[in-house]
Amino acid sequence: MTFGIKDIGAAIVTYNTRQLLVDLVRSLVEPGSLPMAERGQAVRHASWPLPSRRSPAMAQEQIFVVDNASTDGTDQSIKRAFPRIGYVYNHSNLGPATAFNQAVRRAAAYRLILVSNSDIWVPPSTLRIMTDYLNEDRDCMGVCGRLCHPDGTPQPSRTAVTSLLPADMSRVHRATFPGTTFALYRREAFERVGLYDEVFYFYNEDLDWAIRAQRLGLRFMYLPEARVVHYVSQGRKQNGPKIIAHLYRSNLYVYRRHWPRLVRLAYGLMLAEIEWRRHRAEWDYRRRRSPYDAPTRSGTDRQVVQAVWEEARQQLMAELRTPSTPKIPTLAGFAADRDIVRATPSDLD
C-alpha cells in the first residue's frame, strides 16, 4: 500500500509565532501560497523546485497544532483562518517535548506523521518528494530535508547524532538525527521508539529520541530536494531565559542516559562554562555601561541575567545529585481512530 498526502497527520508546536504559524498551515492546505512573513521571497528564488511536482493539498482536519501558552493572539488568528484544524492550547509553556507528544498522539490517526516547528514554510513540492521516497524505500522509517533561508540559500544543519566529518548536504544520505524541525515519519517509528522524553524542557528531546531509534536499528534518510524555509529560532527567542536555565541539566541528563562514563567529565566542563558565561555577562555589562547607553540598561536587566545563570548552575548540580527519571509515553490507544476531537482554549478551561 502506497502513501499519499491524505495519509499524513501534521504535528506542529508553536509559541508566540502567530503569522509564521498561519503561513505554515496555509502552505500545507494551499500548496504554493505565499508566506506573508517574508512577502513571498521564498518562492521567488530560482533554486526552488518547479511547480510541476506540486504536492496535493492537505485537509485542515489532518493538521494538529499544540500552542504552548502563546500570548500574541495565535489562538484567534489560527482558528479564524483554519477553523477545522486540531488545536490545543496549553495554559503554561510545557516545552516542546510534552507539546510534540500531545500533537503526535492526535496525528497518529494517520500512517505518516509530519513533525514540524511553527517557524517553517513548505514549498509546494516538498511533501510529494518525501512521500515518494517513503513509497520507494519501504524500510526507511522517516525522512528529513534541507533547511533554507527565505532567499533559498541552505542553512547549516545537522543530520547525525555524532560525526567526525560534516555530511555532504547536497546528496541523499542516512540521517541518524532527523530532528523535529521538519521531518516526516512512519507512525511505526513512534510505535517502536515511543514518544519524546518529557524530562526535557527545551533541546535534546529530539537527540534522545534519535539515539533510541538508532539503537533499535531504525533508519532515516536526508533528502536535499525536500526543501523548506526555516525562520531560525523564532519560537526559541521568545523564551530564552527559561531555556538557558534548563539547558545544562538537560545536557547532563543526556550524558547519563546514553554515555554514562562521561557524566563526571561533562558535568565539570558544563559547570565551568556556566561560571565563565556568568562572569562574561558581568564584564560585558560593565564594559558597555556608558553615558551613551546608560538609559537603555538597568540594574534589573543585570540581575535577571545573573539569576538565569545561577538557576542553570543550581539545576545542573541538582541533576548530578538526584538524576531525573525518564518520562517516555507510548502511542498505545491513540492510533486507532481518525475521529479526533479538536480542542480549543475554551475546551481546556
Number of Cβ within a 10 Å radius of residue 236: 15
Banded pLDDT at 15 (limits 50, 70, 90): very high
Q: What average pLDDT score do residues 142-164 get?
A: 92
Quick check: 271 pLDDT over 60? yes
Quick check: 173 pLDDT over 70? yes
CB-neighbour burial class of residue 7 (10 A; exposed 0-12, middle 13-18, buried 19+): middle
Higher pLDDT, 53 or 188: 188
**Beta-sheet pairing, 182-186 with 142-148:** antiparallel
Cell 560585558, located at residue = 284
> What pTM was estimated for this model as a whole?
0.86
Average pLDDT, the chain: 85
For the chain, helix, strand, coil in percent to 5 are 45, 15, 40
pLDDT digits (tens, 9 = 90+) for 29-66: 999 888 875 544 444 444 455 455 678 899 999 999 99
pLDDT digits (tens, 9 = 90+) for 226-238: 999 999 765 555 5
- Distance separating alpha carbons of residues 316 and 267, to the nearest angstrom: 8
pLDDT digits (tens, 9 = 90+) for 109-138: 999 999 999 999 999 999 999 999 999 999
pLDDT digits (tens, 9 = 90+) for 237-257: 555 677 788 899 999 999 999
**φ/ψ of residue 148, rounded to 5:** -130, 155
Secondary structure of residue 184 in the 3-state scheme: strand
| Residue-wise DSSP of 77-95 | HHHHH-TTSEEEE-SS---
**φ/ψ of residue 39, rounded to 5:** 55, 35
Banded pLDDT at 291 (limits 50, 70, 90): very low
pLDDT at 334: 55
- Distance separating alpha carbons of residues 163 and 312, to the nearest angstrom: 28
| Residue-wise DSSP of 95-148 | -HHHHHHHHHHHHTTSSEEEEEESSEE--TTHHHHHHHHHHH-TT--EEEEEEE
Task: State the DSSP H helix or E strand holding residue 174, giving kind and residue range, or none if neither.
Answer: strand 173-174
Quick check: 347 pLDDT over 90? no
- Distance separating alpha carbons of residues 248 and 336, to the nearest angstrom: 38
State the cell numbers at 241.
Answer: 531565559
State the cell numbers at 156.
Answer: 547549516
Higher pLDDT, 243 or 2: 2
**Angle 173-14-45 from CA coordinates, rounded to 5°:** 55
Q: Do residues 87 and 343 make contact, with C-beta atoms less than 8 angstroms apart?
A: yes
Quick check: 92 pLDDT over 60? yes
Closest CA to 107 of 248, 7, 9, 40: 9
